[in-house]
A and B are shown apart, each in its own frame.
Chain A
Amino acid sequence: QKEVEQNSGPLSVPEGAIASLNCTYSDRGSQSFFWYRQYSGKSPELIMSIYSNGDKEDGRFTAQLNKASQYVSLLIRDSQPSDSATYLCALYPGGSYIPTFGRGTSLIVHP
């Protein structure tokens, strides 16, 4: 079983703080890592993708990938109430066209 683990939360942070979301995975051959945001009852939307070790920044979002330690994280700077959603981590296990999704972490940003 190729697993993607996320803490279900909820993670609660005050407005303006940094939210840190983490994801660990079991398949060392995994490639192409993604973070999706999903509002309740809505479809997932892609926030970030990362393919190589290190950091990737896009606006208030930073994705971090460490293949040796098998984790990928998402940092949200200056968190806003509109960031309150469930964040899904996803990846393609080695040699697979079927993406594996984590169960998601619920983020609550309170004013």
Chain B
Amino acid sequence: EAQVTQNPRYLITVTGKKLTVTCSQNMNHEYMSWYRQDPGLGLRQIYYSMNVEVTDKGDVPEGYKVSRKEKRNFPLILESPSPNQTSLYFCASRFGTGLNNEQFFGPGTRLTVL
């Protein structure tokens, strides 16, 4: 089944404790991205990657890191999480870099930082 997977789905952590949210897709998509969704603010892009070893900042990159060492994986790293990073996070992928191509979203990771 073609899909984007994320782990963990739910995470409660404390301020300053490094964490990684994994994202993997099995559709051989070049483009992957991370979003956060907050009430009243909608979906905002954190980072995106056009291909292996090619990443760039989205609208809200502060406090996050990403890497793209393999085509299928695009982990999101929070080196020192803070309470304002409590949010619902989605990973997404699409084929190629064409803007007409459908984005497929992962199931989401609900993160709470205490």
Q: Residues on A close to B: CB < 8 A? A: 31-32, 34, 41-46, 49, 51, 88, 90, 92, 97-99, 101-104
0/1 string, B92-114, CB within 8 A of A gives 1: 00000101101101111000000
Instruction: Report the stretch among B12-20, B42-50, B67-75 that lies at the interface.
Output: B42-50
Contact B107–A43 (Cβ < 8 Å) = yes
Q: Which residue of B lies closest to A104 (CB)?
A: B42
Q: Residues on B close to A: CB < 8 A? A: 40-45, 48, 50, 56, 58-59, 90, 97, 99-100, 102-103, 105-108
Given A32-B99, A32-B100, A43-B90: A88 touches B48 (CB 8 Å cut-off): no
Given A43-B107, A43-B108, A92-B99: A98 touches B58 (CB 8 Å cut-off): yes
Do most interface residues of chain B lie in helix, strand or loop, or is the interface mixed?
loop
CB-defined contacts of A97 to chain B, threshold 8 Å: 48, 50, 56, 97, 99
CB-defined contacts of A101 to chain B, threshold 8 Å: 42-44
CA distance A90 to B99 in the complex (A): 11
Contact B43–A44 (Cβ < 8 Å) = yes
CB-defined contacts of B58 to chain A, threshold 8 Å: 98
Contact B100–A49 (Cβ < 8 Å) = yes
Contact A98–B59 (Cβ < 8 Å) = yes
Given A97-B48, A103-B40, A103-B42: A43 touches B105 (CB 8 Å cut-off): yes
CA distance A34 to B105 in the complex (A): 14
A2 vs chain B, min Cβ distance (A): 10
Q: Which of B97, B99, B107 has the most CB of A within 10 A?
A: B99
CA distance A44 to B104 in the complex (A): 8
CB-defined contacts of A49 to chain B, threshold 8 Å: 100, 102
Contact A88–B105 (Cβ < 8 Å) = no
Q: Which of B41, B43, B59, B108 has the most CB of A within 10 A?
A: B43
